[in-house]
Structure 1
């Protein structure tokens, strides 16, 4: 059972300066030791969220995203940042409508509708303003940076991969370095249904700590190896609303990125007690080995 995390007293007092007295606090963290999120309830029924970032880098990314990128999603399509406190890496957020899509027992048709709206919101996010010089440089280097991470994850995964699997991952990392120009923009960075809220009002995105300038196709990796692998109709619905087909170079990059995601999952999942993440990596790597070396 996950241990409930207490809201730090200093953070609560800071939040109450903006919200007024808080009547109740609920731990709303993900099942990960570095996730720290709480739902606050006011005396008159109002609600807010407080999030404490796991690192300075994530805090900087997320606060910047809320101020300059997230508004492109539109009204009620994401929480709003009410205040932030750098000393505690804390953010005070409004509550976006909806509940996490995976827990709603949605029908096949409803899932297609969810993915259609996700495609629309991703397009808005990816096109949220022109990249400045610094952001452009970061985006242009994003695929190379992903390839550079392969050796780190191979080292962490150790003997969870065979020699042939390690060779396969290195081959895909090398191919990723040779991918031609691909569309760039601001990506969500953890684009998957657990960060999608669904309601009668439509879809909303949450959790922008990994939002950054990058190759847009990097936002599709988790979907490609989970949702879309078993449900191609969801991929079709997403891409129709996304507004364009992926380029040949994007398709090639996406396949390379799935191999790097696999070794990342096999490095991170077992060490952090996440069997679902581990299974995602193993399934992807088994599939790539079969398809590349039948």
Structure 2
């Protein structure tokens, strides 16, 4: 039988033993695509979720930052797991376990709740951040790396990106992967998981993945989400730049991980975003 802790480093094993000495792994929730190990553990007194990052992981640090500074509006309502243990250097954390199933069947009611929850996160005071300059540089670096974006499209993207503004932008805490695969439903109530991409960004960035998928497929979901959120932050040129960045990131990430369907979505997103510039 495969050791469920086999991907943990010696330090991570030591930390886990010190935190949950009687812990027993009951389920492996890891995706197998990225290097993060996700395990469900019990120790006789409770049920927990353990997340362990690999050698190059940066998601655990982000997740710990979110737990320490941003998630109280959700955890106070029982709508997100609470941090129990965490170690940035060890790239390891343990949270409470939330009951529920990942959203696989979408409905306006679920999307309305998700919009309400996102508004709570974005309700933190905005702070200026060097977001635009940093994200422009990140996109150019992705275009320098391996992908299957055609040379003509790459040239056009480079021209656009180098002309984008670089001034500081108002930012708020964002989830970074806001879509149904990170929403749990239990007894009709939506809760949120997975904060490995949480960071300060413009609020509209948390709409990007929904706009590329669920909103595109069913406008009723978009209407319900906006009703729950209370407004629509996609009102300026930043939204278009954000869509372009998301498209480039999707195509490049999916190519690197062999996710062909997701890569095709990325190329479609690029084409649609570019069409808006015509």
Quick check: TM above 0.5? yes
Mind listing any 5+ residue stretches in structure 2 that lack a counterpart? Answer: none
1:51 aligns to 2:51 (yes or no): yes
Query: Match of 2:152?
Result: 164
Aligned pair count reads: 273
Partner residue, 1:266: 251
Q: Does 1:141 align with 2:130?
A: yes
CA distance in 2, matches of 1:33, 1:187: 21
Say if 1:5 and 1:281 are closer, same or farther in 2 by CA, change over 3 A: farther
CA distance in 2 between partners of 1:170 and 1:285 (Å): 13
Higher helix share: 1
**SS in structure 2 at match of 1:246:** coil
Does residue 127 (structure 1) correspond to residue 112 (structure 2)? The answer is no
TM-score using structure 1 length: 0.81
Does the CA-based 8 Å contact 1:7-1:38 persist in structure 2? no
Cα distance in 2 for residues equivalent to 1:247 and 1:271: 29
From 177, 196, 210, the counterpart of 2:165: 177
Q: Point out the more displaced range, 13-22 or 259-268.
A: 13-22
Q: Distance in 2 between matches of 1:247 and 1:26?
A: 39
The 3 A distance-change label for structure 1 pair 276 and 76 is farther
Structure 2 residue 140 is matched with structure 1 residue 151: yes
RMSD: 2.7
Aligned-pair CA distance for 1:183:
5.2
User: 1:17 deviation in Å?
Assistant: 4.1
Q: Does 1:218 align with 2:209?
A: no
**What SS does the corresponding residue of 1:248 show, helix, strand or coil?**
coil
Distance, in Å, in 2 between the alignment partners of 1:242 and 1:182 is 21
Verify the 8 A CA contact 2:80 2:193 in the aligned structure 1.
Answer: yes
Q: Within 1, Cα distance between the matches of 2:88 and 2:133?
A: 31
Structure 1 residues 147 and 10, CA gap change in structure 2 (3 angstroms) = closer
CA displacement, residues 212-249 of structure 1 (integer Å, 9 cap, x when unaligned)? 22211111111111111122221111111111133531
Could you report, residue by residue, the CA deviation over 1:52-86 in whole angstroms, capped at 9, with x for unpaired residues?
Answer: 13456433321121122111123221111001134
Q: 1:193 aligns with which of 168, 173, 180?
A: 180
Alignment CA distance shift 1:289-1:213 (3 Å): closer
